[in-house]
Amino acid sequence: MAARPSYQGILFMLLAALGFSLMGAAAKMVKDHFNAGQLVFWRNMIGAIVLVPSLIWKPPVRKTGGKTGWLIFRGFMGTMALYALLYCVIYMPLGTAMTYNLTSTIWIALFSFFVFKEYAGGQVILAILIGFAGMLLVYQPSMHLPWYYHFAGFISGISSAIAYITVGRLNTYYDPRLIVLAFIVGGTITPLISMLLHYFSGLPEDGIWLVSWQWPAGIQWIWIIGMGITALFGQYFVTRAYGADKASVVSAISYANIVFSVFLGVLLGDQFPDFTTATGIICIILSGIIISMYKHKTS
C-alpha cells in the first residue's frame, strides 16, 4: 500500500506566510507613531528577548563554524532587507510591499547565473522575464508615489535574496538559531547607532538612518510585541517547512504571503489592487512558482 503524502511542509509554509503577513499588518498599525528605523529596532529587540533565553536553555548545536565574516554579512543584509520592507509597509499598500519583498526568488535566480555561473535554462529565463514584467505592472499603477518608495521595494527584494543565499551557505557551519541571532543582533545594533548619531550630532531625523528613541505607549505595546512575536513565528515555521518537504514545494507556497497581505491590507484600509496591479502580482507569483518547479526537476 502506498504511503500517504505528507502535507506538513505546505502547512508549515502557510503558517510562516501568515506570520510574516501579520508582522507587516502589526507594523502598519503603528506607522503613524514609529518610523522604519524604530520599527526595525523594536522588531529585533522583541526577537532577542525571546531567542536569547532559548539559546541559554538549549545551547546551539556545535558545528564547524569558522565563517564569522559571512555571519556578520548575513546579519547586515537581513537588516537592510528589514529596513526596506518596513519602510515599504509604512508608505505602500501591504500587499504591494510584500510583493516587492518576494521578488527575492527572481533575484536569487539572477545572482545564481551572474555570480555563481549557474545557467538555469530557458525555462527560468522566461520566469525571470515574467517576474520583471510583473514588477513593472506593480510599479506602474503607483506612479503617484515617490520613486524612492519603489526603489526601497527593489532593495527589499535584492537584499532578501542575498541574505537567503548566505543563509543557505551558513547552514552547514552554524546552528540555525545562531544565524537568526546574527540577523537580530545586526537589526538591534544598527538602529541603536543611528539613534546615538541623531542624539550627539543634532542632525534632523530622516526616518531611516537618523532616528530618535521612541517608547511604545498604551495599545502600541500590543502591536509592537505582536510584530516581534509574529516575525519569530514566521521564521520558526519557515525552518520547519524546509525541513519537512522539498524546497521547491514550500518556496512556491510562500507566495501565499502576498494573498494574506492583500487581504489584511484591505482590512486595514488599503484599496483592493486594481486589474493592472493584480496582474503584476500574479506574474510575480507565477515567476516564483516556475523557478521553484525548475529546482524540483533538477534536484
pLDDT digit string (tens) for the chain, length 299 residues: 444 445 677 788 888 889 989 999 999 999 999 999 999 999 999 989 988 898 888 887 777 878 888 888 888 888 999 999 999 999 988 888 888 887 877 787 777 766 666 555 667 677 777 877 887 777 665 556 777 888 898 899 899 888 877 876 777 788 878 888 888 888 999 999 999 999 898 888 888 888 999 999 999 999 999 999 998 888 778 777 766 666 555 666 777 888 888 888 888 888 887 888 788 888 888 877 776 666 555 55
Q: Terminal CA-to-CA distance of the chain, rounded, Å?
A: 26
The pLDDT assigned to 105 comes to: 74
Which sign does the torsion angle of CA 205, 209, 212, 217 carry?
A: positive
Pair 288, 46: CB distance under 8 Å: no
As a whole number of angstroms, the distance between CA 163 and CA 107 comes to 11
Q: For residue 195, is it within any domain?
A: yes
What does the mean pLDDT of the chain come to? Answer: 81
Q: What is the pTM of this model?
A: 0.82
DSSP characters for 215-272? ---TTHHHHHHHHHHHHHHHHHHHHHHHHHS-HHHHHHHTTHHHHHHHHHHHHTTPPP
The model's pLDDT over 131-165, given as tens digits with 9 standing for 90+, comes to 778 877 776 655 567 778 888 988 998 998 888 77
Q: How many domains does the chain have?
A: 1
Pair 81, 259: CB distance under 8 Å: no
Structural domain harbouring 132: 8-298
Pair 197, 210: CB distance under 8 Å: yes
As a whole number of angstroms, the distance between CA 241 and CA 250 comes to 6
As a whole number of angstroms, the distance between CA 252 and CA 32 comes to 34
Q: For residue 217, is it within any domain?
A: yes
Q: For residue 2, is it within any domain?
A: no
Q: For residue 85, is it within any domain?
A: yes
The CA-CA-CA angle for residues 108, 109, 112, to 5°, reads: 85
Q: For residue 221, is it within any domain?
A: yes
Instruction: State the chain's maximal CA–CA distance in angstroms.
Output: 73
Q: For residue 22, is it within any domain?
A: yes
Please state, for a pLDDT cut of 70, what percent of the chain lies above it.
84
As a whole number of angstroms, the distance between CA 271 and CA 291 comes to 30
Spatial neighbors of 98 by CB under 8 A, at least 6 apart, are: 20, 21, 24, 85, 257, 258, 261
The model's pLDDT over 252-298, given as tens digits with 9 standing for 90+, comes to 677 788 888 888 888 888 888 788 878 888 888 887 777 666 655 55
Least Cα distance to 291 among 248, 261, 239, 234 occurs for 248
Q: For residue 1, is it within any domain?
A: no
Q: For residue 173, is it within any domain?
A: yes
Cα Rg of the chain, angstroms:
19
Q: Could you give the C-alpha distances from 214 to 24, 65, 91, 223, in angstroms and in order?
A: 19, 37, 19, 14
